[in-house]
């Protein structure tokens, strides 16, 4: 059974959660889990999310450790105001992450 969580990474000391990826050409739209789950459940999802992000090629452009890469890092991403390429800003919340997964070029950082 394919996990419904595209990539879950516990980020930062506050235990924030980010789900991110770039579509990967999969014809099946991913289903995101709510981020308001207990900390233990989020922590348990990390290994699956890391494996899935690696398997689908997300880590070719994104890092969870803050490293500079082609795409933005996931470290500290959730809850942050992000400045986009067009000069506008967006709050990185569940809706932003969902849109970024399903339509990767909708908002470019």
Model-level pTM greater than 0.75? no
| 62 within 8 A of 19, measured Cβ to Cβ | no
| 62 within 8 A of 32, measured Cβ to Cβ | no
Domains of the chain, residue spans:
8-102
CA distance 15 to 83: 23
| H-helix or E-strand spanning residue 11 | strand 8-11
Match domain 8-102 to its CATH number in 1.10.10, 3.30.70, 3.20.20, 1.10.760.
1.10.760
How does DSSP assign 51-83, residue by residue?
A: HHHHHTTGGGT--SS----SSPP-TT-TT-EEE
Tens-of-pLDDT digits for all 109 residues of the chain? 333 333 343 333 233 333 444 544 444 545 555 555 557 877 888 888 889 889 989 899 999 899 988 888 999 999 999 999 999 999 999 999 889 888 988 999 8
């Amino acid at each position: 059974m394919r996990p419904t969580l595209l990539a879950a990474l516990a980020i930062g000391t506050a235990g924030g959660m980010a789900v991110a990826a770039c579509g990967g050409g999969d014809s099946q739209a991913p289903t995101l889990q709510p981020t308001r789950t207990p900390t233990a459940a989020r922590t348990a999802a990390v290994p699956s999310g890391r494996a899935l992000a690696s398997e689908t090629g997300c880590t070719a452009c994104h890092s969870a450790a803050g490293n500079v890469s082609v795409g933005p890092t996931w470290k500290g991403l959730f809850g942050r105001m992000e400045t986009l390429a067009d000069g506008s800003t967006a709050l990185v919340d569940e809706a932003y992450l969902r849109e970024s997964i399903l339509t990767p070029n909708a908002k470019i950082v």
